């Protein structure tokens, strides 16, 4: 009896302990059927827009990701604002990239966002649908601009379509321009956007509610202007009127009324830093903050600045130590500001750098870009935020369109607006004074004596600069002036736009080793190899994402064949950068 009792109680114990039932689903995260506020998905997409695709997850998951943040190394070297004198700490000057990152997982979240918003508003007309159209276009163009033809139809369907076909770059741009047009039209009729059912929130750029959407409308149109300008080679060809309608669209943007553009600096799409969660990259609180002396300014930029006595010289950079200490120049002397040539060897760059004890180069302005007070951002981009789509670029884009006679207007007016907007963004005013410090953010020491505050103070002369850069009457010269000023205005902002502009116009070629087309004239074994890839050239495009080559092979191969004669060639141009007559393949 005792035995049976024992057995029964033990069996009961076992059964009791086994009653719990568990699900195969993770209880810690929202599952696929969860109701996700669309604002949370917008938040994610916008973060990726700022950081660069794939950056949020870390580059390990997505080969080819490159941070698009201002002051991120690759982008600054490849756009030739900085030159690294030390590849370990300062990054590589090489254009040694191959496969690109991709934006389809951003689009996937855009689709989830659209669906979530449709669930709430029971309609496809809502604020998030507008943002969805913009971001679909943004993501597709971001990728197509890098690689050429891309999958556009049947994308982001998971297992339902594991091998989406490729659309030509022409078709991608055509569809995206239509998306941008639609977004603008929807924003012209905000009352239909069901904002009472689903207010517009979650925007990391601080645009919320109806006014935020109005703001976005200007940004979207400014972005469309950037896209249209990037199609400049197709203007006047069979792909313009009646097809992509580039000229007509430019005209409606610049001279029309239905497409409001950015009205001024306050309309910029700005990423604002905050010290607790999104610290400024070059903040001294981060390890990055100590490295400005590993990154001399490049001659590409410095020559453009100093030749015109551009006061932004003092904003961006510091005078070279050698020029001040040994040649006894004043800190306001433009000739004391010297860039480093990106085609030098690291050894030579290092020798001539301050860290090498010599100091023949200018460095990014430590006092402005690498310091902050304990209470928060006070200066520079840290306080003002970084431009993603900005008014200065818009002005220069309009000036370029007018200069090239695509639309009517005064190129000079927009050119000057652009320059002034840029000066204003960087805080430059006529007669304004500022302190010039050394690369460590301290007063210069000349012959063992610190310069006094008075000796370190300079007065900004905007007027002289404006006279020197006044737009030439010669169309070609003016064109070059517009592009150069646009390039300067892209200092530490707008991601890869400066590089994309160079690909389109090929004017960014200060390096004597690089010919007008961006190709070095010769390759010899003594060529310094730290600026180019192993083949001695600056690539003209990125290769397709590895996963496309590997898992969508037939379509990828067909796209490579149609565009580049078979290879996924880094050194051939994508269709938009080919001469106007080239047929989309």
Partner 1 sequence: MKKEMEKSKKIKLAISRYVFVTLFQLFVVSGIFAQEAAIKGKIVSKDGSAVTGATIIVKGTTRGVVTDLDGNFTITASPTDTLTVNYVGYASQVIPVGGQTMISFTLSEEVKNINEVVVTAFGIAKDTRSIGYSTQKVEGTELTQDRDANAINSLVGKVSGLSVGASSEFFGNPQVVLRGNTDILYVVDGVPINSDTWNISADDIETYTVLKGANAGALYGSRGINGAIVITTKKGAGVKGTSTIEFNTSDMIDPRSFLAVPVRQNEYGIGSNYSYAYGNDPFNKTGGFVRQPVWGPRMEGQGVAQYNSPLGANGIRTQTPFNVLGANNFYNFMEGGYHTTNNLSITASGEKYDLRISMSDVYQKGIDPNTELNSSNGNIYAGYNFTKKLRIEGNLNYNYQYSPNVPDAIYGPQSYTYMIQEYGSANFDVRSFKNYWQAPGTPGIQQAWVEYGRANNPYFMANQWLRSHTKADIYGYGKLDYAITPELHISFRAQASGYSMMRTEILPTSAITYSLSSGGIQEGTVNGASTGEYREDRRMLYDNNNDVMLSYNKNVTPDFFVSALVGGNVRTFTYNSSWTSTNNIVVPGVYNFTNTLNPLVSYNFNSGMNVLSAYYSVDASYKKYVSANTTGRLDNSSVFYPGQQNYFYPSVSLSSVVTDYVKIPVVSFLKIRGSYANVKGGLTTPTAGPSFDLLGQPTPLGYGSSYYSSYDGPSYTNQNAYSINHLYNNTPSANYANTMANPTLKPFTVSSMEFGGDIKLLNNRIGLGATYYTTTNGPTIFPQQVAASTGYYSQNVNGITTTKNGWELDLAVTPFKNPNGFSWELTANWSTFVEKLKSIYEADQSVLLNGHYYQVGDRLDAIYGYKFYRDLQGQVINAAGSPLVRTTGANYEQKLGYANPDYVWGITNKFSYKDLSVSFQFDGRVGGVIFDEIYADMLQSGNATDLVNGAMGAARLAEWNEVKANNYVAPSNLQGQYVAPGVEITSGTPIFDSHGNITNMNTLQFSPNETKVRLQTGYISNINGVFQEPYMVSKTYFMMRDLKITYNLPKKFLARTAFKRASVSLVGRNLLYITALKRKDVDLDQYPVGFDVSRIGQTKNQTDQSNGYGTENLNLITSASMQTPIVRQFGFNINVAF
Taking the complex as a whole, the smallest distance from the CB of residue 61 to partner 1 amounts, in Å, to: 6
DSSP assignment letter at 356? G
Q: What is the DSSP annotation of 131-175? A: HHHHHHHHHHHHHHHHHSSEE-TT-S-GGG-SSPPEE-HHHHHHH
Binding to partner 1 (CB under 8 A): which residues in 288-307? 288-290, 293
Taking the complex as a whole, the smallest distance from the CB of residue 390 to partner 1 amounts, in Å, to: 19
Q: Which is nearer to partner 1, 87 or 580 (CB)?
A: 87
Taking the complex as a whole, the smallest distance from the CB of residue 331 to partner 1 amounts, in Å, to: 17
Q: Alpha-carbon distance 85 to 286, whole Å?
A: 20
CA angle 425, 79, 462 (to 5 degrees): 30
Binding to partner 1 (CB under 8 A): which residues in 553-582? 567-568
What is the per-residue binding string for partner 1 in 14-33, x denoting contact by CB under 8 A? x--xx-xxxxxxxxxxxxx-
Q: Which is nearer to partner 1, 250 or 514 (CB)?
A: 514
Q: Which is nearer to partner 1, 72 or 252 (CB)?
A: 72
Does residue 274 sit in helix, strand or coil?
Answer: strand
Stretch that binds partner 1, among 247-255, 385-393, 427-435, 437-445 (CB under 8 A): 437-445
Binding to partner 1 (CB under 8 A): which residues in 52-81? 56-58, 60-64
Please say whether the dihedral angle defined by the alpha carbons of residues 344, 346, 347 and 351, taken in this order, is positive or negative.
Answer: positive
User: Binding residue for partner 1 (CB under 8 A) from 1, 122, 159, 453?
Assistant: 159
Integer CA distances (angstroms), 102 to 143, 178, 238, 454, 547, in order: 6, 22, 30, 52, 10
User: Binding residue for partner 1 (CB under 8 A) from 72, 105, 295, 500?
Assistant: 105
Binding to partner 1 (CB under 8 A): which residues in 80-99? 85-88, 94, 96-99
Binding to partner 1 (CB under 8 A): which residues in 245-274? 274
Binding to partner 1 (CB under 8 A): which residues in 164-183? 164
Q: Which is nearer to partner 1, 27 or 431 (CB)?
A: 27
Integer CA distances (angstroms), 579 to 170, 520, 541, 564, 585, in order: 13, 21, 16, 15, 14
Q: Which is nearer to partner 1, 9 or 477 (CB)?
A: 9
Integer CA distances (angstroms), 370 to 320, 324, 380, 411, in order: 17, 21, 9, 36
Q: Alpha-carbon distance 151 to 53, whole Å?
A: 17
Taking the complex as a whole, the smallest distance from the CB of residue 557 to partner 1 amounts, in Å, to: 13
Q: Which is nearer to partner 1, 96 or 580 (CB)?
A: 96
Instruction: Using alpha carbons, select from 575, 401, 534, 545 the residue that is nearest to residue 62.
Output: 545
Q: What is the DSSP annotation of 382-436? A: HHH-EEEE-HHHHHHHHHHHHHTTSS-S-HHHHHHHHHHHHHHHTT--TT-EEE-
User: Binding residue for partner 1 (CB under 8 A) from 450, 463, 521, 583?
Assistant: 450
Taking the complex as a whole, the smallest distance from the CB of residue 146 to partner 1 amounts, in Å, to: 12
Taking the complex as a whole, the smallest distance from the CB of residue 194 to partner 1 amounts, in Å, to: 21
Taking the complex as a whole, the smallest distance from the CB of residue 460 to partner 1 amounts, in Å, to: 24
Stretch that binds partner 1, among 180-188, 222-230, 383-391, 544-552 (CB under 8 A): 544-552
User: Binding residue for partner 1 (CB under 8 A) from 44, 77, 218, 233?
Assistant: 44
Cβ(393)–Cβ(227) under 8 Å?
Answer: no
Cβ(70)–Cβ(490) under 8 Å?
Answer: no
User: Binding residue for partner 1 (CB under 8 A) from 125, 509, 547, 572?
Assistant: 547
Could you tell me how far CA 339 lies from the centroid of its own chain? 23
Q: Which is nearer to partner 1, 410 or 449 (CB)?
A: 449
Taking the complex as a whole, the smallest distance from the CB of residue 151 to partner 1 amounts, in Å, to: 4
Taking the complex as a whole, the smallest distance from the CB of residue 538 to partner 1 amounts, in Å, to: 13
Residues in contact with partner 1, total (CB under 8 A)? 131
What is the per-residue binding string for partner 1 in 305-344, x denoting contact by CB under 8 A? -----------------x----------------------
Does residue 493 sit in helix, strand or coil?
Answer: coil
Stretch that binds partner 1, among 174-182, 228-236, 423-431, 436-444 (CB under 8 A): 436-444
Binding to partner 1 (CB under 8 A): which residues in 344-403? 345-347, 349-352, 354-358, 360, 366, 374
Asked if 463 interacts with partner 1 (CB under 8 A), we say: no
Binding to partner 1 (CB under 8 A): which residues in 116-145? none
Helix (H) or strand (E) holding 184: helix 169-188
Stretch that binds partner 1, among 117-125, 235-243, 247-255, 282-290 (CB under 8 A): 282-290
228, exposed or middle or buried, with CB in 10 Å at 0-12, 13-18, 19+?
buried
Cβ(354)–Cβ(363) under 8 Å?
Answer: yes
Task: Compute the radius of gyration of the chain from its Cα atoms.
Answer: 27
Taking the complex as a whole, the smallest distance from the CB of residue 234 to partner 1 amounts, in Å, to: 25
Binding to partner 1 (CB under 8 A): which residues in 470-509? none
For helices 391-403 and 411-425, give the axis angle rounded to 10 degrees: 160
Binding to partner 1 (CB under 8 A): which residues in 211-230? none
Q: Which is nearer to partner 1, 164 or 364 (CB)?
A: 164
Q: Provide the H-helix boundaries in 195-341.
A: 209-230, 246-255, 299-306, 312-316, 321
Q: Which value, to the nearest 10 degrees, does the dihedral of the CA atoms of residues 351, 356, 360, 362 take?
A: 120
Q: Which is nearer to partner 1, 63 or 236 (CB)?
A: 63
Asked if 40 interacts with partner 1 (CB under 8 A), we say: yes
Q: Is 565 left (phi over 0), alpha (psi -120 to 50) or beta?
A: left
Q: Alpha-carbon distance 152 to 287, whole Å?
A: 40
Asked if 453 interacts with partner 1 (CB under 8 A), we say: no
Taking the complex as a whole, the smallest distance from the CB of residue 380 to partner 1 amounts, in Å, to: 16
Q: Alpha-carbon distance 101 to 98, whole Å?
A: 10
Q: Which is nearer to partner 1, 142 or 406 (CB)?
A: 142
Stretch that binds partner 1, among 36-44, 122-130, 399-407, 428-436 (CB under 8 A): 36-44
Residue 223: CA count within 13 A, CB half-sphere: 29
CB burial string 418-443: b at 16+ within 10 A, e below: bbbbbbebbbbeeeeebebbbbbbeb
């Amino acid at each position: 009896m005792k035995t049976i009792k024992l057995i029964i109680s033990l069996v009961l114990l076992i059964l009791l302990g086994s009653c719990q039932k568990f699900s195969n689903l993770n209880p810690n995260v929202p599952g696929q059927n969860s109701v996700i506020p669309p604002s949370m998905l917008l938040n994610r997409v916008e973060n990726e827009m700022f950081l660069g695709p794939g950056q949020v997850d870390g580059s390990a998951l997505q080969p080819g990701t490159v941070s698009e943040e201002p002051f991120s190394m690759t982008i600054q070297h490849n756009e030739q604002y900085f030159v690294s004198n030390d590849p370990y700490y300062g990054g590589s000057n090489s254009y040694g990239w191959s496969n690109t990152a991709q934006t389809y997982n951003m689009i996937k979240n855009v689709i989830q966002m659209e669906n979530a918003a449709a669930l709430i508003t029971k309609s496809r007309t809502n604020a998030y649908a507008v943002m969805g159209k913009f971001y679909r276009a943004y993501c597709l163009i971001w990728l197509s601009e890098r690689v050429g033809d891309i999958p556009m139809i049947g994308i982001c369907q998971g297992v339902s379509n594991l091998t989406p076909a490729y659309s030509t770059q022409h078709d991608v741009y055509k569809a995206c321009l239509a998306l941008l047009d639609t977004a603008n039209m929807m924003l012209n009729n905000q009352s239909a956007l069901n904002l009472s059912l689903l207010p517009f929130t979650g925007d990391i750029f601080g645009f919320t509610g109806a006014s935020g959407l109005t703001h976005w409308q200007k940004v979207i149109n400014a972005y469309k202007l950037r896209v249209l300008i990037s199609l400049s080679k197709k203007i006047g060809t069979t792909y313009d009127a009646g097809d992509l309608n580039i000229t007509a669209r430019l005209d409606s943007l610049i001279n029309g009324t239905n497409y409001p553009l950015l009205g001024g600096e306050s309309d910029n799409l700005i990423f604002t830093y905050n010290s607790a969660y999104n610290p400024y990259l070059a903040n001294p609180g981060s390890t990055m903050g100590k490295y400005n002396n590993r990154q001399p300014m490049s001659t590409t930029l410095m020559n453009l600045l100093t030749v015109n006595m551009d006061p932004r010289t003092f904003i961006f950079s510091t005078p070279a130590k050698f020029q001040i200490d040994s040649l006894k120049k004043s800190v306001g002397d433009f000739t004391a500001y010297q860039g480093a040539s990106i085609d030098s060897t690291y050894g030579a760059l290092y020798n001539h750098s301050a860290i090498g004890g010599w100091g023949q180069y200018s460095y990014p302005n430590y006092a402005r870009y690498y310091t902050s007070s304990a209470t928060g951002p006070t200066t520079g981009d840290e306080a003002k935020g970084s431009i993603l789509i900005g008014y200065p670029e818009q002005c220069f884009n309009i000036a370029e369109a007018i200069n090239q006679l695509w639309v009517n207007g005064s190129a000079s007016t927009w050119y000057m607006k652009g320059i002034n907007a840029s000066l204003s963004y960087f805080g430059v005013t006529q007669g304004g004074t500022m302190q010039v410090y050394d690369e460590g953010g301290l007063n210069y020491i000349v012959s063992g004596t610190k310069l006094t505050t008075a000796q370190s103070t300079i007065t900004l002369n905007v007027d002289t600069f404006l006279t020197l850069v006044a737009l030439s009457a010669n169309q070609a010269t003016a064109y070059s002036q517009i592009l150069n000023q646009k390039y300067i205005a892209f200092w530490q902002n707008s991601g890869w736009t400066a590089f994309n502009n160079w690909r389109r116009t090929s004017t960014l070629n200060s390096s004597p080793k690089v010919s007008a087309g961006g190709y070095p004239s010769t390759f010899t074994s003594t060529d310094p190899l730290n600026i180019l890839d192993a083949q001695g050239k600056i690539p003209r495009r990125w290769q397709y994402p590895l996963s496309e080559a590997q898992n969508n092979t037939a379509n990828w191969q067909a796209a490579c064949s149609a565009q580049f004669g078979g290879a996924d060639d880094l050194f051939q141009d994508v269709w938009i950068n080919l001469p106007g007559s080239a047929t989309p393949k």
